Amino acid sequence: MTDLKRVTPKFLLWLDMEMTGLKPTADRIVEVGAIITNWDFTELGQFESGVRQAEAELREKFGANAWAAARPNETEELIQLSLAAPAEADVEQQVIRLIDNVAGKDAIVLLAGNSIHQDRQFIRAWWPKLEERLHYRMLDVSAWKVVMQAKYNLEFPKKETHRALGDIEESIAELKFYLGKLGK
């Protein structure tokens, strides 16, 4: 068995999920985006999809969510995306296939993104097969943001689109921005 404490994965799985809320035991995943890169942040593959959930459950959970209530058009767009999407187990398998195709069938990848601990909780709750393919460590760009703002007064301008693939692309650009500032 490989000692994961001594292994640095060769690939980063940049992932973002849109959910009905922030409680992984009660809320559901409605959209996922994923980009696999190497450590030079070269995109090697990508995937995005809605995740089908029951309409009644979507409307109930989004209805109780203050963020969703303040953005009715975006919320309805996510609901419609979810209703037309593949089944959740199929979407999980497609993300795993992306890993297999880029990194290999036995590869362990490092999960990366902004506030990625939140997405990781949903992965643990709803996508256990994907969880098995992830290194125990994560690369959270939000931690970089805190350091760069507090120590260097640097802030990356974000669009805040709140769509999975766009959020990932921004996360990669944000980390590149911070690393570029450190190199100067």
Active site residues: 136
CA nearest to 33, candidates 12, 13, 48, 18: 48
* Contact criterion met (CB below 8 Å) for 86 and 38: no
Q: Alpha helices of 31-163 — where are they, by DSSP H?
A: 55-63, 66-69, 72-83, 88-103, 116-126, 128-131, 141-152
The token pair that represents 108 in the structure block: 């362990």
